[in-house]
Each structure stands twice: as structure tokens, then as C-alpha cells.
Structure 1
Amino acid sequence: MAYQQPAQAYQNNSVNTASPADLTLMLYNGALKFIKLTKMEIAEKRYNTAHEYNIRVQDIIRELMLTLDHQYPVAEQMNRLYEYLHKRLIEANVKKDTTILDEVEDFIAQFRDAWKQAVVLAKKQGHAL
């Protein structure tokens, strides 16, 4: 039986025990991390690795789309924004364009920051997201 490295075990435990709100925050942070890595790989002209990182961001965006609760009207608006970002990621991947990645990164950072504020506010009011 293979043993996991301590850092990997900690990460797995963090994901398995996180609240839905914290998981969403992890998704946003993961997307930002992989966008930065994609841009770095493009700058170094390592296009295959850049492609792999870009695909990871696309996967995260699709996961965020799946987590939307469509009983709320804002979910449809967020879905359209996520679709837009997904299309832009594909375009950035094809063109290896870091300017497009900057745009996507800015949107995701804003979503992440707003989500953090919502989580803090919800906790103060005794609600769970």
C-alpha cells in the first residue's frame, strides 16, 4: 500500500471536510493559481504545459457552473459569466494570449473576493452558504 505525502494527505483532508462555501473559495483560488501558471508557461514558451494548466482552469469554471443553485435568479447571470470566461479561456489557449488570461484572472479575482465577503457576512448573521 502506497502512503501519501503529508502535504497531499492534508490537502485531501481539507477538501473532504470543507463546507460548500469553502469549496467554492478553493475553486476560485485554484483557478487563479492555474491562470498564473499558464501565463508563466506561455512566457517561457512551454506551450504544452500552458495548455494543460489552461485546461485545469476550464475544468474549474465548469465545476463552478455545476455548483450554481438555480433556484436563485443570480445563478443564471453567473452561469452566463462563467460561459463567457470559459470561451475566453479556450481563445487564450488557442492564441496563447496572456492578455485574455489577464481579463479572466481579473474576473475570477473579483468573484473570489465577493464570495469571501459573502461568506464572512453570512457567518456574522449565523447563516451558512
Structure 2
Amino acid sequence: MAINAYKTYQNNAVNTATGSELTLMLYNGCIKFIKQSKKELEAGNFEDKNKCIQKAQNIIQELMLTLDQKVEISKQMIPLYEYMHYRLTQANLKNDCEMLDEVLGFAIEFRDTWKQVIQKNRQKEFAQGAQI
């Protein structure tokens, strides 16, 4: 019963999230799967490590697909996402924790920056709403 309630909560969170919040969820998911892949690698669970890395790669692909090509920063993000995807492939093939750490660092940095963008936008919206 608690599991069903949690799934309902998750579905509602995704269905009611803004585009910015969905991007934040994607970053958090990517971070989660990279961390999990490291645990699986260290435990010698190579099949599960592979699944987690593939999930992280799928999220990175989704992040690339959602970029607005009209915005200059998007054009700069594509090569970074491609690099992260490539490094995950290499980490998967070579069972390399350092490569996973490298991509994890990027994902955390991008997520934290994205959080700041959301917060600044909310502050602007709040300030504009207070002026009306």
C-alpha cells in the first residue's frame, strides 16, 4: 500500500512539474544511476552496473533532446553531454570508477547550476508578482 502511494506521488510530481523541474529531475536521476553503477561495479555486479550506466546514458540523451537549439548555451551543452555519454560508455567497457566519478562531477555541477537558475527565476517571478 505504501509503495502504491509513493508511485502515485511520483507520478503526480512528474505530471505537475514545470519544464525546469523536469530537467532537474533528469539530472537527479542521472546522478542516482551513476552512483548506483559505482556501487554495483565495486560489488562485482557487472550486469546491474551495465543497466545503471545505460539508464544514466538514456537520461543524458534525453537532456540533449530537450535542449532549445535557438539558445546559445544549448549549442555549448551538446558537446559536453556527448562527452559525458562517451565517458560512460568507456567506464562501462573498462569498469573504470574514475571515469564514472568524472561524469558524476559534471552531472552534479550541471544540476547545481540548474537549481540556481530555477531559484533565480522564482525570485524574479515573486518580485514581479509583488509589484502588481
Q: Under a length normalisation based on structure 2, what TM-score does the superposition of the two structures give? A: 0.91
Quote the Cα distance in structure 2 between the aligned partners of 1:35 and 1:9: 25
Letter in 1 for 2:50: H
Residue 22 of structure 1: CA displacement? 0.4
Within-5 A mapping of 1:24-39: 24-39=23-38
Identity of matched residues, %: 45
Count, aligned residues: 124
Q: What is the 5 A alignment of 1:29-108?
A: 29-108=28-107
Partner of 2:5: 6
TM-superposed deviation, 1:57: 0.1
* In 2, Cα distance between equivalents of 1:46 and 1:110: 28
Opposite residue 88 of structure 2, the aligned amino acid is L
Following TM superposition, the consecutive aligned residue runs of length 4 or more in structure 1 with deviations greater than 3 angstroms are none
Q: What is the identity, as a one-letter code, of the residue corresponding to 1:104? A: V
Q: Distance in 2 between matches of 1:123 and 1:25?
A: 14
Q: Which residue number in structure 2 is paired with residue 120 of structure 1?
A: 119
Structure with the higher helix share, 1 or 2: 2
User: SS at 1:5's partner residue?
Assistant: helix
Alpha-carbon distance, 1:13 to partner:
1.1
When the two chains are superposed, the root-mean-square deviation of aligned CA atoms in Å is 1.1
Aligned to 2:125, what secondary structure does the other structure show?
coil
Question: 2:80 aligns to what SS in structure 1?
Answer: helix
Which one-letter code corresponds to 1:66 in the other structure?
A: L
Q: Distance in 2 between matches of 1:64 and 1:99?
A: 23
Give the TM-score normalised by the residue count of structure 1. Answer: 0.93
